[in-house]
Amino acid sequence: MYEALVIGTGFGGGVLSARLAKRWPGQILVVERGKRYGFGSFPRSPHEMARNFYQQPGDGHRRPKFVTAVNSTGLFDIRSYDHIDVVLAAGLGGGSLIYANVFLEPPPQVFDERWPSTCKKNDLERYYAVAKKVLGARPVPIDENDPRRRLTRTQYFQKAAAAMGRKSELVPIMVHFGNDHERPLAPGLQEVNRHGALQSSCIYCAECDIGCNVQSKNSTDHNYLFVAEKKHGATILTEHEARSIAPLNAAGQIDPSADGRFGYAVTVVDLQQKTTELIKTKRVIVAAGTLGTNELLLRCKDQLKTLPRVSSQLGSGFSGNGDFLSFIVDAKEPADPNYGPVITQRIDFNLYDRFDKDRAFVMQDASYPNILAWFIEGQKPGILKLQAIWDGVLSFVRTIVRSPMMGRMGGVISRFLGQDLSYKASVHLCMGLDRSDGRLGIDKEGRFGIHWPYKNSLSLYQAIDKAVKQFRTAVGGRLMFHMPTWGWPLRRNVTVHPLGGCALSEDPTRGVTDAAPSRFGAVHGYEHLFVADGSLFPSAVGANPAATIAALAERVAEGITGLPPTEDL
């Protein structure tokens, strides 16, 4: 019997794997549904990328039509639900493999009445501090005298923020620029990081969100997981998925009426061999990401009936962390969004200063890889054909209407087509305090789903729309648009930061997991069953949630092991 089984390897599972393996060397099992990735192993060609999606037979999840693989453990898991689509990751490192690197602590006012009294910002400060050191977070080094460290996009956002009467600040990012923070290592040079893993100094290729092939991203497989496996002997099974959790009784038999004090039996499926194994363990830490954790616990509670004690609050309080994606095209000055780490800075809108809970968000710059830029440029011939058709329509209409506006519209399109579409485009990643009132559940047909009442968060989305329009004016952008699915009548948002469903609370009538320091993250009604990922959040936090997930996970680990966390893994 293992001392602990950890399900998932993102910021929550990574932290727990390292801390528990240090406490019980060689007695920890880690299960990850995705693959293991090394140098140069993330797909890049069209053929490879088309197969880089996660989908398993009969899993019941609705995915976009372009996801055609039926037995794949690819990196991206894209799902469609009620008024919201969710982008997830599968792989050793979980969401940290495709996140945008930002380590951003939320302000104290975010931890409102929905957060337990034992879990306010000041209660988490030391956990943030430790996680920040382990994950090597710091601002991107900028040197105007070095062309490779000059970031046009960052300057572009800083100028626009100033024109809007706001301030743009560099954010700490979890990217390797060398072990010496005072003197960055030259881009592309390699060294062993402080945890023993080999990494390259960032080459500014803008490929952070599709997997870093030079291993500059400080994903959990380069720190927490690396130490858990290489130093403390944790066993890691990739392309394995946990399907059920059941408590054991004193005789070591599965007993749904038991409370977990004698351990658990976890059903684990080998996704390649299609074999199933029943693994017994003293403790279970569910860190499968917000959707994975909620689905597993919901199925165990409502379908399999193996965890009937779980609070009826399970699945409530879902949030997309206010995620909203917008674009501006053909500005007066270039943004050059194809160079540098994905995010370098943030502009505050009522989150840190002049707090307004209904309109609190941050706007962050974004880059995207050159392979996408070439695709965009490749669309010009097709757009030119549309231009020819449009010109014909305008010529006919002008003979009847003789409207000067028609001429201006044609001029805008012609100017737009004559530009390098990528060089003068900017991508705006916004996140803020949505209402956090969604619901995760399983319907009568056994399908896992999300009910997202987007109308309740419209004040936030409208504030973001207004801010992006102001930004467009500041940079003289010709065109502005949001995610295509957001337009009426679809009103479908996209989130990469699903949160909630297993909220921390003082008692099971208000949440799913315990907020008491000694049992932090433990599922109410059970012993030795813990949650350690974004599903713990009682509400959105506005800031990128990775830092808070890691901090909460450090606190869960401390309660289990009795060992205060340090930067030494």
Q: Give the 3-state DSSP-derived string for 247-304, with helices as H, strands as E and coil as C.
A: EECCCCCECCCCCCCCCEEEEEEECCCCEEEEEEECCEEECCHHHHHHHHHHHHHHHC
What CATH number should be reported for the domain holding residue 317?
3.50.50.60
Q: Residue 494, SS3?
A: strand
Q: Is residue 144 part of a domain?
A: yes
Written as six digits, the tokens of 369 are 């890889």
Provide the pLDDT for residue 375: 62
Largest CA distance in the chain: 90
Provide the pLDDT for residue 416: 47
pLDDT band for position 489 (50/70/90)?
confident
Specify the higher pLDDT residue, 424 or 91: 91
Provide the pLDDT for residue 94: 98
Q: State which of 362, 388, 417 marks the end of a domain.
A: 417
Q: Is residue 569 part of a domain?
A: no
Would strands 72-73 and 76-81 be described as parallel, antiparallel, or unpaired? unpaired
The answer on 370 and 294 residing in a single domain is yes
Q: Is residue 567 part of a domain?
A: no
Provide the pLDDT for residue 418: 46
| Cβ proximity of 94 and 289 under 8 Å | yes
Radius of gyration of the chain (CA): 24
| Model confidence at 203: pLDDT above 90 | yes
| Cβ proximity of 367 and 351 under 8 Å | no
Going from the C-alpha of 487 to that of each of 114, 322, 438, 465, 538, the distances in angstroms are: 32, 17, 20, 12, 29
Q: Is residue 15 part of a domain?
A: yes
pLDDT tens-digit map of 330-356: 899 999 999 999 999 999 999 999 999
Written as six digits, the tokens of 18 are 């390292």
* Side-chain-facing half-sphere of 560: CA atoms under 13 Å: 33
The answer on 356 and 499 residing in a single domain is yes
Q: Is residue 318 part of a domain?
A: yes
Strand order from edge to edge, sheet including 275-281: 240-247, 264-270, 275-281
Average pLDDT score over residue span 271-279: 96
Q: Is residue 14 part of a domain?
A: yes
The answer on 488 and 398 residing in a single domain is no
The answer on 389 and 467 residing in a single domain is no
**One-letter amino acid identity for 96?**
S
pLDDT tens-digit map of 511-547: 999 999 999 999 999 999 999 999 999 999 999 999 9
The answer on 243 and 390 residing in a single domain is no
The answer on 298 and 204 residing in a single domain is yes
Provide the pLDDT for residue 166: 94
The answer on 40 and 95 residing in a single domain is yes
The answer on 466 and 499 residing in a single domain is yes
The answer on 548 and 491 residing in a single domain is yes
Single out the residue of 166, 44, 152, 167 nearest to residue 426, CA to CA. 152
Q: Is residue 568 part of a domain?
A: no
Q: State which of 364, 394, 417 marks the end of a domain.
A: 417
pLDDT tens-digit map of 59-117: 889 898 888 877 899 999 999 999 999 999 999 999 999 999 999 999 999 999 999 99
Single out the residue of 422, 415, 423, 426 nearest to residue 327, CA to CA. 426
Average pLDDT score over residue span 479-496: 84
Provide the pLDDT for residue 59: 87
| Model confidence at 383: pLDDT above 90 | no
The answer on 493 and 370 residing in a single domain is yes
Specify the higher pLDDT residue, 246 or 384: 246
Q: Is residue 520 part of a domain?
A: yes
The answer on 46 and 78 residing in a single domain is yes
The answer on 395 and 540 residing in a single domain is no
Written as six digits, the tokens of 32 are 């990850």
Provide the pLDDT for residue 405: 41
Q: State which of 399, 417, 435 marks the end of a domain.
A: 417
Domain range enclosing 408: 380-417
pLDDT band for position 404 (50/70/90)?
very low
Strand order from edge to edge, sheet including 284-286: 235-237, 28-31, 4-7, 284-286, 529-531
Number of domains the chain contains: 2
